[in-house]
Structure 1
């Protein structure tokens, strides 16, 4: 029987949608989004749009939420929340933002429209892959003057969250944004509500995020989503890339075509093994049992146990 952590992993697609994608829980999503905007926008209500759309091709993955938000000044703006990694990730988020603007144009020729564009924001939550080589965990992007940095247009924005770069322990959390990032990244590792998170919004979060609250069908869906997440980790890590480069360099130094090919292949194989071991360590740290890790990643039980030393 598989062992699960007490709380579901919020960085899985299913876990994120279950907690934040229900009308009864929209106060959780509003709280999280308001912390991301850090006072620039204050959401007093939001509507989950039904046109949750996928990319132009299946492997692009899907937008998690398409939202229409109402600010405290009664203005409205649109938010898309994305989680899954895609190739050319930055370009695709810009495409989604531009598409949300383009879709506002009335159908047919309307000379009286006047380009009255609603504000648009794209929010990307990245777990398991990096947006840039900088150590920042929050990238708040807007259109600005290249020379002076003066904001050129403030109604189109992109917020990228790199959870891999957020490493604060719970005792050092000072803001609600930090608390949200901590629970997003570490929920599946926790076994109780920490004293550092004792606020009504987080008490509600912890009360509804317990794995035992899922029915059998929901548990099956969650398990599939969890396995998909670890499969994505295996594909996204840079260990294989580093291995290929090392193998290519080794082959070039040997000066033989055969040596190049062998070096590349050795680098790929070593990179893949390093990736699997890195993922196994992460799963061990999150409380998964050895047998489950073996089934998901294809490593032997002995290989996994050796990582525990």
Structure 2
């Protein structure tokens, strides 16, 4: 059956639903469903998703969505389509950019605004040593001391393991449940389920409907969908975290996709130089 709605796990689909200026009410609603009540967002400003380090030696970070609320708190929202090496390290690294950009010239008291790094994962973590329930969907992480007391309250990492979300429509209770159900099953819907009966979700379905896209957007979506399917197919079947040859094999296959050298390096854990050598050896 032909899809009626876009796949939200594609770069195009995710940014169409949450990353455009007109999508701001949707993103605010989603974040408010995810965050505690005391952190409720009333307004957001989209910021440049490309961040550069302080020196030429620093690597560049490119976020899916980067925004700031009316209190100056920063939000990075990342869609991660496939498992990759050092994913946790990558999100920690990303968090350093919105922290460092708050530095002020001259006398400054180091009073920082909160930073939230949110990852929507189309895979599950390999290790669950810190979790009593391996089927958790939401992982909320803060910096704590040896007594399990929060040491610093302004740095939050929230990961959503989408494969673990197994609720059916009749089981949905919270606003977050509805958003997770929407994201996970959007591409399969042929009509809007009755549970999505408010204006926010009606707008989300309207933005996601393929019939509402112009030809240029449809072409971009088809290209994004192909990358998503190729990437998932290659990494899900060939990912071998501990072996160099496994990484090289993945890289060779991804060289046939529109992904950049930097993106292939990120997904495989190889260096950009290694990717370029592979390309030259083809």
Q: TM-score, normalised by structure 2?
A: 0.76
Change (3 A) 1:141 1:13: same
Equivalent pair of 2:206/2:212 in contact (CA under 8 Å): no
- Which has more helix, going by share of residues? 1
Q: Report the CA distance between 1:89 and its aligned residue.
A: 0.6
Aligned to 1:45: 43
What does the per-residue CA deviation read over 1:116-172, in whole Å, with 9 as the maximum and x for residues that have no partner?
A: 2111111111114536442211100101122x2111111110011111111111111
Change (3 A) 1:190 1:129: same
Change (3 A) 1:105 1:54: closer
Whole-angstrom distance in 2 between the partners of 1:161 and 1:10: 14
SS in structure 1 of the partner of residue 44 of structure 2: strand
Whole-angstrom distance in 2 between the partners of 1:54 and 1:138: 30
Change (3 A) 1:10 1:131: farther
RCO comparison, higher one (Cα < 8 Å, 6+): 2
Determine which of 89, 98, 101 is the counterpart of 1:100: 98
SS in structure 1 of the partner of residue 154 of structure 2: strand
Q: TM-score, normalised by structure 1?
A: 0.69
How is 1:39-188 mapped onto 2 (pairs within 5 angstroms)?
A: 39-53=37-51, 62-70=62-70, 75-84=71-80, 85=82, 86-107=84-105, 110=106, 112-130=107-125, 132-133=127-128, 134-146=134-146, 148-188=147-187
Equivalent pair of 1:64/1:82 in contact (CA under 8 Å): yes
Aligned to 2:264: none
Superposed CA RMSD: 2.7
Whole-angstrom distance in 1 between the partners of 2:153 and 2:143: 7
How is 1:140-289 mapped onto 2 (pairs within 5 angstroms)?
A: 140-146=140-146, 148-237=147-236, 241=240
Q: Which runs of 5+ in 2 are unaligned?
A: 129-133, 254-282
Whole-angstrom distance in 2 between the partners of 1:192 and 1:118: 42
SS in structure 2 of the partner of residue 95 of structure 1: helix
Equivalent pair of 2:49/2:64 in contact (CA under 8 Å): no
SS in structure 2 of the partner of residue 83 of structure 1: strand
Whole-angstrom distance in 2 between the partners of 1:79 and 1:131: 26
Greater Rg over alpha carbons, structure: 1
Change (3 A) 1:90 1:101: same
Q: Report the CA distance between 1:95 and its aligned residue.
A: 1.0
